[in-house]
Amino acid sequence: MKDIIDHLASTRNLTLEQLVGLLASEDSEGIRYLFHLAHQTAQNSYGNKIFFRGLIEISNHCKNDCRYCGIRRSRTGIHRYRLSKEQILQCCQQGYALGFRTFVLQGGEDLWFDDDRMCDIVAAIHQQHPDCAITLSLGERSRQSYQRLHDAGAERYLLRHETANRAHYQKLHPADMSFDNRMRCLQDLKEIGYQVGCGFMVGSPYQTIETLFEDLQFIRAFQPQMVGIGPFIPATGTPFADRPAGTVEATLRLLAIIRLLHPHVLLPATTALGTLHPQGREMGILAGANVIMPNLSPAALRADYSIYDNKLSTGSEAAETVNDTRQRLAPLGATLLPDRGDFKPQHPANDEPET
């Protein structure tokens, strides 16, 4: 086991057989070594730091009907909301006072937020907080739209690819969504010059070791600046409501593997991980994650952004308790610096994997 892990760390590559071995292993000492090496690799890349992003969930209206998602179009019985420009700016002001220097605007694909409205909001945040990074996570849009948002001041974009396997993609999404368009979006974002994040759910229905291997290969080819992974968690009122959740253990192992494959990638310990385990965030950091994204949305609306059941939005997920979180994570190196936490490209001299 140790051999496989050392080989993974030095070559930044692994085979399907090795992935199977790592995910199925019951060698707890070997897995501890995997986590340790991944944590150390994160620290080698970014120092003893965890980056904080303020997450603002701007709307839970969505035109899409993704089969896993609790805010899908056809989900009934939930309260739909969208934030006004003023509310969003207020969230940013609160976040700024708390020390956040990155704001992530995430939402369903809500047509109300057309390019004019969205650019106006991005430009206003940019003007009020010129020292902050603006990250968008608003799903699939046209290239022109991504370009306009970039011109308005958005520098980063999160769009999980969800799965790199076409047939799997089709099982997770309705017929009017396409794998090709998802990939087109990611390519456009990259070409425009965004720092881009892709990613997937761990344990999504129909996922196999082979599709996970394809995910890792896709990430290797695409070279994103960020990778978001978290366990799938079933959402009431969706076609996958009765499916089992992904596991904390598999998520941690994949975080560690991704860290070793991509020493410099920005890798969040996600809310979904924190939802499945009270120490999920800490465990994620100890397995190589180096970003956390506390929730800056208006507290009264947080529960409505219910992409899965029992989504955590209190405790360490809540931006206003960031000082407690900072203390709790301090032993792990979680300093909340007023820092944008940009992707740090590898120095060319250090870019060659060791042989």
Residues that bind ligand SAH (CB under 6 A): 68-70, 106, 108-109, 137, 139, 159-160, 162, 201, 230, 232-233, 235, 272, 307-308
Q: How far apart are CA 185 and CA 60, in angstroms?
A: 21
Q: Which is nearer to ligand SAH, 160 or 281 (CB)?
A: 160
Token output for 286: 């100890």
Rounded distance between C-alpha atoms, residue 190 and residue 160, angstroms: 13
Write down the least CB distance from residue 105 to ligand SAH, Å. Answer: 10
Q: Least distance from C-beta 69 to ligand SAH, angstroms?
A: 4
Minimum distance of ligand SAH from residue 225's CB (angstroms): 16
Q: Is 158 helix (H, G, I), strand (E, B) or coil?
A: strand
1/250 with CB nearer ligand SAH: 250
CA distance 128 to 125: 5
Between 19 and 233, name the residue whose CB sits nearer to ligand SAH: 233
We find the least distance from the C-beta atom of residue 86 to ligand SAH, in angstroms, to be: 23
Residue with tokens 């970014």: 46
**Min dist. Cβ of residue 257 to ligand SAH (A):** 18
DSSP string, 217-244: HHHHHH--SEEEEEE----TTSTTTTSP
Report yes or no: 346 and 263 within 8 Å, Cβ to Cβ. yes
Decide whether 8 or 121 has the Cβ nearer to ligand SAH: 121
Q: Mention every residue, 6+ apart, whose C-beta is less than 8 A from residue 10.
A: 353, 354, 355
In the bound complex, what is the minimum distance in angstroms from residue 162's beta carbon to ligand SAH?
Answer: 6
Phi, psi (rounded to 5 degrees) for 292: -130, 150
Residues 6 or more apart whose Cβ sits within 8 Å of residue 170: 179
CB of 349 to ligand SAH, least distance (A): 36
How many other CB atoms sit within 10 Å of the CB of residue 242?
A: 8
Secondary structure class of 51 (helix, strand, coil): strand
By the 8 A CB rule, do 257 and 216 touch? yes
Minimum CB distance to ligand SAH smaller for 13 or for 236: 236
Tokens of 315: 């405790």
Report, in Å, the least distance between residue 256 CB and ligand SAH: 20
Choice between 70 and 288, CB closer to ligand SAH: 70
Residue whose CB is less far from ligand SAH, 239 or 315: 239
Structure tokens at 250: 């598999």
Q: Quick one: 132 or 201, whose CB is closer to ligand SAH?
A: 201
> How far is residue 306's CA from residue 235's CA, in Å, rounded to a whole number?
8
Q: Which helix (H) or strand (E) holds 196?
A: strand 195-202
